[in-house]
Structure 1
Amino acid sequence: MAIDFTMSPEQRQIQAMAREFAENVLAPVVPEADREPDPLLAHARTKGAYVEAYKAGIAMAMLPKEYGGGGLSCLDLTIAAEEICAVDPGFACTVLCNGLGLMPVAWYGTEEQKKRFIGAATSDPTGEFLGGWTAGEPPGGTGGTANFDNPFPRPAGIGLTATRDGDHYILNGRKKWSSAGGWDAKGVNAQTVIVRTDGDVGGTKGLSAIVVERGTPGISYEFVNKEGHRTASNALITFDNARVPVDNLLPGAAGNGDFVINRNFAWSGPVAGIAAVGMARSAYEAALKFCKANTAGSLTPIIRFQNVGYILGDCAAKIESARYFCWRASDYLDKHEQHAELVGAMCKINTTEAMFDVIYKCMQVVGVNSLSTEYPFGRFLREASVLPIYDGGNMGMQRRRVHGVIADEGFNPRAVMEDSTIVFEKSMESIGTVADWDRQYSNSGSTPFVSAAE
């Protein structure tokens, strides 16, 4: 029987190490960091814990072992991530963004780039090295992120341009929600940035990925003030004639920046899902403890009432099922060369939305006291609200990826069950990105959708 949900001794050791770190090193700094009104300082208050995570091998655990990383499988990473996310998914996001920023180098970079960027990330004697992922853009106009693979040329889709000038690219534009602000709002050590290298074609042809290093002139950072994930870095970045060496362009991602976005957000899907599981687990355990200790004016603790017991029982079942979906999606990534564009998206959608409901149900059984800051439920709800709308929003990107795959004529609806490889093609992109295409072009004879996405 090949299907086995029992963790190996090594996986139990990984889980125990992550739990010990989360409960003993991370947990003491989270309350003050979460209350800090300045988003830069909130992030900076976790720096000491991050250095400890770096020294323990947690911060770079997902990077390839041959370049100094931990070489953890996606499944092992997911197991460890749950323990950290149960304490603070914002801090876990900081660690995850090392992967989002540097795994594209492992996938699409040259051997020299892998040694240079990943090697630097895994050999920092200070333990402060941060990787960053920079894809999103501010709302307004036709620029933005959700429709990054829009079939139309500029100004639709990604707006940050990279123009070749000798041995450099000149970057101009703005990005938002980037994890690249760094400890001091002067940038992370290395960030992978999605840029428009060809503005005359659509997003399935005109996007690329380039690594931007800390200290590059012409870049400014402003931290975004957020309701949740306050310990994580998110920045508004302005590129003003920033000169980045041509050698920093990832060759496998030239004209394939769309693939980088899709693969990255599929790779991180189970981690975002397990972050939701971690928060829901903490909410469930806190609610169960409350309901066993409080009577609400009755003669017995309220856990003895059917409505409370039934609701918490349902919550426990949903947490278990979500955890196993995350394990399954991670296992699929490991078996299919870290490609899971369909499964990763489905996992993130299903688990993050289900776990948000679980946390609110826990608040309902606790009642109005769940709103009091003496209990952690308010923070749990804030953190859980982030998960369905970040990391490739469920509505903006994830569901569209699923739609594109299942609409393909060659899609096998039993592929996941049979553990078959699902190859993600450019023909699966752009679906649903042009809501009024028929109205604009049905009478013009123009077919930009077909020509740009073929």
Structure 2
Amino acid sequence: MAIDFTLTDAQRRLRDDAREFATQVLAPVVRQADEEPDPLRAFQLTRPAYVEAYKQGIAFCMLPGEYGGGGLSNVDVLIAGEELCAVDPGFACTVLVNGLGLMPVWYWGSDEQKDRFLRAATSDPACEYLVGYAVSEPAGSPGGTANFDAPLAHPVGIGVTARRDGDEYVLNGRKFWPCNVAGWDGRGADVSIVIARTDTGKGGTEGLSAFMLERGTPGVEYRLISKIGHRLAPNAEIVFTDARVPAANLVEGTRGNGDLLINRNFAWSGPVAGIAAVGVARSAYEAALDFARTYTAGGPRPIIHYQNVGYVLGDVAARIEMCRYFCWKAAHYLDRHDYHGELIGAMCKIQCTELLFDAVYKCMQVVGVNSVDRTRPFEKLLREAAVLPLYDAGNFGMQRRRVHGILAHPGFDPRALADDEFVAFDKTMETIDTVPA
């Protein structure tokens, strides 16, 4: 059969290895790191786990094998990713961002750039190499990132500017929310990809490009952000003040196409965010089921034997299964279509993260007030689930707008995904609703 949801022996080993890492290496550091008030210190507490993840090939599992990466398919990444996310989706986000920062170099970089940046990431003797992804910008008027592809000139859309000066570009402006960019010490990741406006006279569909920002670049400051969830993932504000980046660090194929990079990146990460929701909901469901099997609520038998509890948990279990397979479908689509899945990736991210946020709360209702006790896992799981629809191109901003732009295009075939046909995404599908009527 062409359709088969049975894991291969290799995939089962991959899942089991990821589960062992998550439970034996990652889990022991999660509580302390999550409760640490200093966001940089919280991230630093995960360092030993990250080093082990690097040694086991997890940290750069998504990069091609020819450059030293794990060479995993997108489906395989999700199989392993679910196990990490069931323990802590923030740590898994750190790994995800390594891919967001370097996969555009694989897609669009020159051979020299691929050799320089991809091989450096996968050959670090200290096993600590970290990559950042910098798109999001601070809220304000103008400000934010949801309308990054607005067709109007600066200052609408992306506000960080990159002005050519000889063999360098001079960057000015601020980013807010980028992950991994501050590195282990708050002074910068080994390298970060930064989306900036290289032509202030053009809109985001024409004026954006991507740069590789290397650690130690003068004129760059980092300020860590304290968050309600994903506390093991380091988000930061970046301030660029006449920061000089070599012109050779502009990722060649992104010149004037930084908008397409953003859309393609968030298409790839859509099912990864979806599987994070699966992992979080799975943990909540299993904890609620264990509780229901022993707690009587003062009655003669455990509450699992009452209809309401059984029905609610049955619905939650069904949602988890539905979303897992939607994520696999989206990842399979990416594997078949050269890592393009701008439509299905957005759909997957929206539906899975929103359905399963509700599922986590349903589990808390089964457990009742006892779910509020912080000795149980639900408080953290709820915080993590709340982040998922909001981050990684928010569902109400960038994700639904991408879906809308594709559906509104006159050439869109509504049966394409069902037929596993390629759905092209280009600049004509951008800008929808970015300029109020």
Question: Residue type matched to 2:240 in 1?
Answer: F
RMSD over aligned CA atoms reads: 0.5
Q: Deviations over 1:36-88 (max 9, x none)?
A: 00011111100000000000000010011111111111000011000000000
Q: Deviations over 1:390-416 (max 9, x none)?
A: 001001100000000011000000000
1:309 lines up with 2:310 in the alignment: yes
Residue of structure 2 in register with 1:194 after alignment: 195
The structural deviation recorded for 1:354 is 0.4
Question: Residue type matched to 2:195 in 1?
Answer: I
1:226 lines up with 2:227 in the alignment: yes
**Which runs of structure 2 are paired with 1:32-71 in the superposition (5 Å)?**
32-71=32-71
Question: Residue type matched to 2:100 in 1?
Answer: L
Question: Residue type matched to 1:285 in 2?
Answer: E
Residue of structure 2 in register with 1:342 after alignment: 343
**Which runs of structure 2 are paired with 1:120-159 in the superposition (5 Å)?**
120-159=120-159
The structural deviation recorded for 1:277 is 0.2
**Which runs of structure 2 are paired with 1:179-328 in the superposition (5 Å)?**
179=179, 180-328=181-329
Question: Residue type matched to 1:250 in 2?
Answer: V
Instruction: Provide runs of 4+ in structure 1 moved above 4 Å.
Output: none
1:15 lines up with 2:9 in the alignment: no
1:417 lines up with 2:418 in the alignment: yes
Question: Residue type matched to 2:70 in 1?
Answer: G
Question: Residue type matched to 2:86 in 1?
Answer: A
State the SS of the aligned residue for 1:210: strand
State the SS of the aligned residue for 2:293: helix
Task: Name the CA distance, whole Å, in 2 between partners of 1:308 and 1:176.
Answer: 42
Residue of structure 1 in register with 2:378 after alignment: 377
Task: Name the CA distance, whole Å, in 2 between partners of 1:141 and 1:76.
Answer: 42
Residue of structure 1 in register with 2:88 after alignment: 88
How many pairs are equivalent?
436
Task: Name the CA distance, whole Å, in 1 between partners of 2:68 and 2:242.
Answer: 34
The structural deviation recorded for 1:336 is 0.1
1:115 lines up with 2:115 in the alignment: yes
Task: Name the CA distance, whole Å, in 2 between partners of 1:143 and 1:28.
Answer: 39
The structural deviation recorded for 1:383 is 0.3
Task: Name the CA distance, whole Å, in 2 between partners of 1:316 and 1:62.
Answer: 29
Residue of structure 1 in register with 2:167 after alignment: 167
State the SS of the aligned residue for 1:366: helix
Residue of structure 1 in register with 2:104 after alignment: 104
The structural deviation recorded for 1:143 is 2.3
The structural deviation recorded for 1:141 is 1.2
The structural deviation recorded for 1:109 is 0.4
Question: Residue type matched to 1:418 in 2?
Answer: D
Q: Deviations over 1:180-209 (max 9, x none)?
A: 111111111011100000011111000000
Task: Name the CA distance, whole Å, in 1 between partners of 2:17 and 2:220.
Answer: 38
The structural deviation recorded for 1:293 is 1.0
Task: Name the CA distance, whole Å, in 2 between partners of 1:375 and 1:427.
Answer: 49
Q: Deviations over 1:207-258 (max 9, x none)?
A: 0001000110100000000000000010000000000000000110000000
Task: Name the CA distance, whole Å, in 2 between partners of 1:116 and 1:392.
Answer: 28
1:426 lines up with 2:427 in the alignment: yes
Question: Residue type matched to 1:187 in 2?
Answer: G
Q: Which runs of 5+ in 2 are unaligned?
A: none
Residue of structure 2 in register with 1:403 after alignment: 404
The structural deviation recorded for 1:434 is 1.3
Q: With structure 1 as the length reference, what TM-score do the two structures score? A: 0.96
Task: Name the CA distance, whole Å, in 2 between partners of 1:122 and 1:51.
Answer: 12
Task: Name the CA distance, whole Å, in 1 between partners of 2:292 and 2:151.
Answer: 53
Task: Name the CA distance, whole Å, in 2 between partners of 1:193 and 1:82.
Answer: 28
Task: Name the CA distance, whole Å, in 2 between partners of 1:191 and 1:339.
Answer: 22
Question: Residue type matched to 2:260 in 1?
Answer: F
State the SS of the aligned residue for 1:293: coil
Task: Name the CA distance, whole Å, in 2 between partners of 1:91 and 1:391.
Answer: 14
State the SS of the aligned residue for 2:244: strand
The structural deviation recorded for 1:25 is 0.2
State the SS of the aligned residue for 1:220: strand
Task: Name the CA distance, whole Å, in 2 between partners of 1:299 and 1:434.
Answer: 62
Q: Percent identity?
A: 63
The structural deviation recorded for 1:142 is 1.1
Task: Name the CA distance, whole Å, in 1 between partners of 2:44 and 2:400.
Answer: 34
Task: Name the CA distance, whole Å, in 2 between partners of 1:145 and 1:153.
Answer: 14
Q: Which runs of 5+ in 1 are unaligned?
A: 438-454
State the SS of the aligned residue for 1:268: helix
Task: Name the CA distance, whole Å, in 2 between partners of 1:142 and 1:427.
Answer: 24
